[in-house]
A and B are shown apart, each in its own frame.
Chain A
Amino acid sequence: MAVSSRPPSSEQVRDLPSGPPESEARSHPDPVPAWVAALLTLALAALALVGTYLYWRFRYLPG
């Protein structure tokens, strides 16, 4: 096979891992506050549960 490891490949592999987890601190602050994450989860979960109930109530039950 003529193709072999070329410079871009070697370059990339040298740059593999060892990345940010060199320290315990984050490289940037988490842009999403915990309450926003909780609210988003609750809202989407509630929509899914209500949607599933409506599906069951109006379509699933024969007749």
Chain B
Amino acid sequence: MLTALFPEDKDSAAQRLALASLIWLVVGVLAGLTLAVYYSAPGAWNALPPWMERALEFGKVRMIHVDILLFDWLSMALVAGVLYILPRLCRVDLFSERLAHVLFWLWNLHAVLSVITLDMGMNRGREYAEQIWPLDALFMAALAVCAVLVFGTVARRRHGQLYVSVWYFMGAVVWMPLLIFIGKGLWSFTTNPYHGIIDNIANWFLGHVILGLWFTALGLGISYYIIPRITGRPIYSHWLSLIGFWTLAFFYSPIGGHHTEWGPIPYWLQTEASSFSMLMFIPVGAAVWNQLQTMAQAPRRVMESPELAFILVGVVAYAVTSTQGSIQALRTFNGYEHFSFWVPGHAMLALGLGFGSIAIAGLYYFVPMVAGKALWSRSAAWVHWGLWTGGFTLLIWLMQTAGLVQSANWRQGLAGWITSTVAPADPYLVGVAGSGALIVIGSLLFVWNIRRTVVAGRSLVVSPTLRALPGGRQAALPVAGSAPAPQVRPPVRPAGPRIETNAWVLTSFALLLFGFAVVSTVVVPNMVSARYAPAPTAHPYTPLQAQGRLLYIEEGCWECHSQNVRTIEGGIGTIHQPGDVGPTSMPGDYVYQDPVLLGQHRRGPDLMHVAARWPSASWQVMHLMDPQALTPGTWMPSFRYLNPAELAALAAYLETLQ
């Protein structure tokens, strides 16, 4: 029983993680499709029974969509790739296969509890950091196990040189736990240690840097392995890989502040974020050029291999999204596009089409090999590639175009929220639902193909020194009983600079660069924030208001409404009529808030001064009950499933937003 749950068979944990990640992929994309359909038919939700209306409420489903896809599908699939690749690069078995199964069980428990808790409204009110403390602790435990596996394997390696992929893997497993620990303030489990505006700074230190130091690090590490394996060519330039890794480690960490440009965080922090975002052209250019040039050495292999085709799409998407990211960090463009549909389109480019494609390539590459089977259908893999790439390309184009239209309307002060924001985006969102359906179909095809491969695939013949040739048809694994006794080889003499051969030196340098960002973007702003005096309109909440604020967080209102009037729009921004967005938000406005709810999206209007626009609590209650009746055409969900006391509390909180 125990050995079945925690087997020590080689690659068994990587295989289980890979297969489990597919379940979370399906859950995540179906949640996304639900959101896309909702935009086109919000009224249809009114026909649902109250319990289902509550369970499928937009804000909660979006949290499930984002968190499950990022932390369960994508992270799990990438880590499965790490557990497969690392032993091969170190020429030694994984440190402990059983410990890797501990990771598997804990991670899947985390995923199950995430869906349940988020749907129950248990969240932190922070984007990309929604999960509650106990689940963070569970995820940290899983990451700690992951770090032991990586460093334990590296410490036992029989190959002196640390290949570029290993640098990225080691960096990711030390950066990620630190990011979560610092970004979420996990040393304090009963209260949030960040108060006022510093909470937003810490949120985006985690929320953005996680992209560079976790998803990028794992994704590039995997593609740096798969490309040379399938093409049979060496990586184009060792030095470019060095430049790419170290500049990523240095430049990525301080850029989270660009999520709050023109907002109430220190101006110098915004400037630092913009500057380092522009410097990101260096690591991105180095990694992308290096990988494209490596593929260019064997173009036919790219045409023949769906794995490489997915990698190619992923690398190109990474280049495009990183270029967008740097340009978005420029104040001028940031002031234009922020809060619109441009932003989620950008995130989907990075994490869906970019690293999602690389994760898929990894699974297509190693799951059949571990199973000792040929991929069930390469044609289906190509169809999947077409649906995935086409669906995401269309979806991103539609969302970002809709975002530019919204931004243009906001910039010219078009009166009326439905006129400026909702109606112009609606036609694009019908297309988003259609392209989302393509992604869902492609994902189901992917799952079917992998499952058929494992269950009923054609067995392959042994080849001790396997090489994955295009298509993987020639790939082979050892057959039980046919292999020779284990050979213990002496370690290969390290070659190259010490930083490339000594894991501890490399890790120390990576942590040093990370520490610079922690000090400059979290510690110093935290010290400065103590100087902020409360604004005249800020005051501690009464119990009723606090209860209403908790409901605001639980129901995910913050997913669609910002509470941040930026410098460029204060006093002139238009929601219904010119200037009614209210005065510019200041740090003192947030002194009593924990967490702060600045928000990143405006699917609904900014609520920083909503009580000044709608001073009647009874209107708020009526609007919460039946938004379609009061604002025809709105995307706002009905909260009629809340009881009268809850509605009164929520309205009392909204009345504090003066």
Determine whether the beta carbon of A38 is less than 8 Å from that of B2: yes
Restricting to B65-107, which residues have a CB under 8 Å from any CB of A?
A: 87-93, 95-99, 101-102, 105-106
How far apart are the CA atoms of A30 and B289 in the complex, in Å? 40
Determine whether the beta carbon of B138 is less than 8 Å from that of A44: yes
Whether A24 contacts B87 in the complex (CB less than 8 A), given A13-B233, A34-B6, comes out as no
Which listed residue (B101, B134, B158) contacts A37, Cβ 8 A? B101
Determine whether the beta carbon of B233 is less than 8 Å from that of A20: no
Determine whether the beta carbon of A44 is less than 8 Å from that of B141: yes
Which listed residue (A5, A16, A26, A34) contacts B486, Cβ 8 A? A26
Distance in angstroms from B530 CB to nearest chain A CB is 26
Whether A6 contacts B239 in the complex (CB less than 8 A), given A17-B88, A23-B486, A56-B122, comes out as yes
**A contact residues around B495 at 8 Å (CB):** 8, 11
A3, A20, A55 — which one has the most chain B CB atoms within 10 A of its CB?
A: A20
Restricting to A21-60, which residues have a CB under 8 Å from any CB of B?
A: 21-28, 30-38, 40-41, 44-45, 47-52, 54-56, 60
Determine whether the beta carbon of B105 is less than 8 Å from that of A16: no
Q: Which residue of A lies closest to B548 (CB)?
A: A62
Distance in angstroms from B97 CB to nearest chain A CB is 6
**B contact residues around A24 at 8 Å (CB):** 10, 478, 480-481, 483
Determine whether the beta carbon of B133 is less than 8 Å from that of A21: no
Number of A-B contacts (CB under 8 A): 199
Determine whether the beta carbon of B238 is less than 8 Å from that of A19: no
Restricting to B615-646, which residues have a CB under 8 Å from any CB of A?
A: 646
Distance in angstroms from A31 CB to nearest chain B CB is 5
Q: Which residue of B lies closest to A20 (CB)?
A: B93
Determine whether the beta carbon of B486 is less than 8 Å from that of A52: no
Determine whether the beta carbon of B122 is less than 8 Å from that of A60: yes
How far apart are the CA atoms of A54 and B101 in the complex, in Å? 27
B551 at the interface (CB under 8 A from A): yes
Determine whether the beta carbon of B161 is less than 8 Å from that of A52: no
Determine whether the beta carbon of A31 is less than 8 Å from that of B96: yes
Determine whether the beta carbon of A62 is less than 8 Å from that of B649: yes
**A contact residues around B113 at 8 Å (CB):** 48-49, 52
B240 at the interface (CB under 8 A from A): yes
How far apart are the CA atoms of A1 and B466 in the complex, in Å? 33
B467 at the interface (CB under 8 A from A): yes
**A contact residues around B485 at 8 Å (CB):** 23, 25
Distance in angstroms from B157 CB to nearest chain A CB is 9
Distance in angstroms from B281 CB to nearest chain A CB is 16
How far apart are the CA atoms of A37 and B101 in the complex, in Å? 8
B159 at the interface (CB under 8 A from A): yes
How far apart are the CA atoms of A37 and B106 in the complex, in Å? 11
Q: Which residue of A lies closest to B152 (CB)?
A: A31
B117 at the interface (CB under 8 A from A): yes
Which listed residue (A4, A32, A35, A51) contacts B236, Cβ 8 A? A4
**A contact residues around B235 at 8 Å (CB):** 5, 9, 12-13
B50 at the interface (CB under 8 A from A): no
Q: Which 4 A-B pairs have the closest CB atoms?
A: A51-B134, A9-B238, A13-B234, A48-B138
Q: Pick 7 A–B contacts, CB within 8 A, sort by A.
A: A8-B496, A19-B87, A22-B483, A24-B480, A30-B8, A32-B98, A47-B138
- Give me 18 other A-B pairs in contact (C-beta within 8 A), A9-B237, A27-B93 excluded: A5-B235, A6-B237, A9-B235, A12-B163, A12-B234, A15-B163, A16-B89, A17-B229, A17-B467, A18-B466, A21-B87, A25-B486, A37-B2, A38-B6, A44-B102, A47-B138, A56-B120, A62-B550
A residues at B contact (CB < 8 Å): 1, 3-6, 8-28, 30-38, 40-41, 44-45, 47-52, 54-56, 60, 62-63
B residues at A contact (CB < 8 Å): 2-3, 5-6, 8, 10-11, 87-93, 95-99, 101-102, 105-106, 109-110, 113, 117, 120-122, 132-135, 137-138, 141, 156, 158-159, 161, 163-164, 225, 228-229, 233-241, 289, 293, 464-467, 477-478, 480-481, 483-488, 492, 495-496, 500, 543, 547, 550-551, 554, 646, 649
